[in-house]
Each structure stands twice: as structure tokens, then as C-alpha cells.
A = this chain, B = another copy of it.
């Protein structure tokens, strides 16, 4: 009897405030969806830029070498390419995968106006996997880039950035853009969690 009373009371309240409540709900939904779309497009653009900036990275320099000590040193052209280091290959591939996923998910979110729950959940899970992929790739490239920049005397790995300065700057730019892209996907997962949390 009590539950029935409470239920009809709720029904009455809904009748009085239903219109305004619905409007606020729709406005909130639009706001969340708008932020999601903007962030997703930003993620797409950032990962695309990171993949391209590192993917076209190449520098040729004349390095002076002494072959025979009695002869004067000769200059040999040496080229640094992005695919010489596996960590950089991983960064380019990870950014390319995430960029393609961002484009597809952007279309899916735009098409999913009805708000199918299964699709929304799938997108959260994939967003989360992209966070893991991009952060591991950025970490890998950053670690190798740091050794290239500073060298490491303990293992006798010499720095190479004093010779290939432009190459290293381009790598650094790609890593920074990739880290921004990772943060965007992190924010997308956060936004989804906040949104689900608010609804529930």
C-alpha cells in the first residue's frame, strides 16, 4: 500500500515537472555528446599529426671519418631514419591504429543518435585499449629518445642527437603530440565514466 502511494506520488511529480526535467536531460545529453565528439576529433587530429611527423622523419648528414691515419679524414653521408629504432616504429603504428579507430568511432558516435547501449559500451572499451596502446608507445619512444639525447655511459651507448639535431627535434615533437593524443583518449574514458556515473 505504501509503495503504491509513493509510486503515484512520484507519478504526480513527474506530471508537474516532467517537461522541464526532460529538457534539462536532453540538454545535458547534447552537451556530453558534443564534448565527446570534439575530444574524439581532437584525438583523431593529434594521432594523425604524430604519425605523420614521425613517419616522414629523416635526416642526412655528412660525418667526417678518419679511415687511414696517414690520409686526411673523409666526409661520408650518414642518414637517420625513423624506422631504424623499433620504439619509433611502434609509436607510428600505434598512432596510425588509434587515428583510424578515432575516425571510425567518430562516424559510429555520429550515426548512433538513438544511443544504443551495446555500441556505447564497446566504444568505451576500445577507447580504454587505445589509452593503453598510446601510453605504452609514447613511453617506449620517450625512453629511447632520451638515450639518443643524453646517451648512457654505463652501457656505452653514445648520444646521437648532437649530430642529428633536426631528426631528434622532430622525434620530440611527435612524442609530445602523441602524449597529448593519449591524454585526449584518457579524457574520453573519464567523460564516459562520469556520464555513466551521473546517470546511475
Contact = CB atoms under 8 A, between A and B. Distances in A.
A200 B144 CA distance: 44
Interface in A133-166: 135-144, 146-148, 152, 154-158, 160
A193 interface: yes
Interface residues of A, number: 58
A190 to B, nearest CB: 6
Given A132-B135, A194-B121, A15 B11 contact: no
Contacts of A152: 84-85
Interface of A: 3-4, 6-8, 10-12, 14-15, 18, 80-81, 84-87, 90, 117, 120-121, 124-125, 128-129, 131-132, 135-144, 146-148, 152, 154-158, 160, 182, 186, 189-190, 192-194, 196-197, 199-200
